Structure 1
Amino acid sequence: MDLKKENQFLLEENKHLKETLKVYQNHLERVIECYSVEKYRSAVQKNREADGTAPQDSDGNTYRGKSVANY
């Protein structure tokens, strides 16, 4: 009986660990995606500034801030 209970306990623990793993994987994928997008935006902004094509306001000032819109 002890082996049967231990086996059941281990199966339950395995199930919970798999669920936890899925949560962490999903979170990690979102973090990587967000980081990649921000890194891409930063690279584009640097390239635009180097080329002189960075977005400018009506006074000709180059925009260097982060976008406030979250789509």
Structure 2
Amino acid sequence: MESIPPELFNLGHIVLSLQATKPRTVGANTAVIITLPADRTLEFAESIHRGTLIRHYLQYNILNLDPIGTVNY
């Protein structure tokens, strides 16, 4: 697991530009913007997370993060 470099974290968001191409098509472009939380000290809002394994992919419900000390398990 890697951590986000501080200089990138200080920007407040990460922008990913994605391009999909296929022969004989015009393709598609999109941008995914990940907004980083202002507080770097976070914990999972729930102590247990459930997912479903479908065709070798694990699907989770939304995983919420909260500032440390605000979560009541």
TM-score, normalised to structure 2, is 0.19
Q: Which has the higher contact order (CA 8 A, sep 6+)?
A: 2
Larger Rg: 1
TM-score, normalised to structure 1, is 0.19
Q: Please identify which structure carries the higher strand content.
A: 2
Q: Please identify which structure carries the higher helix content.
A: 1
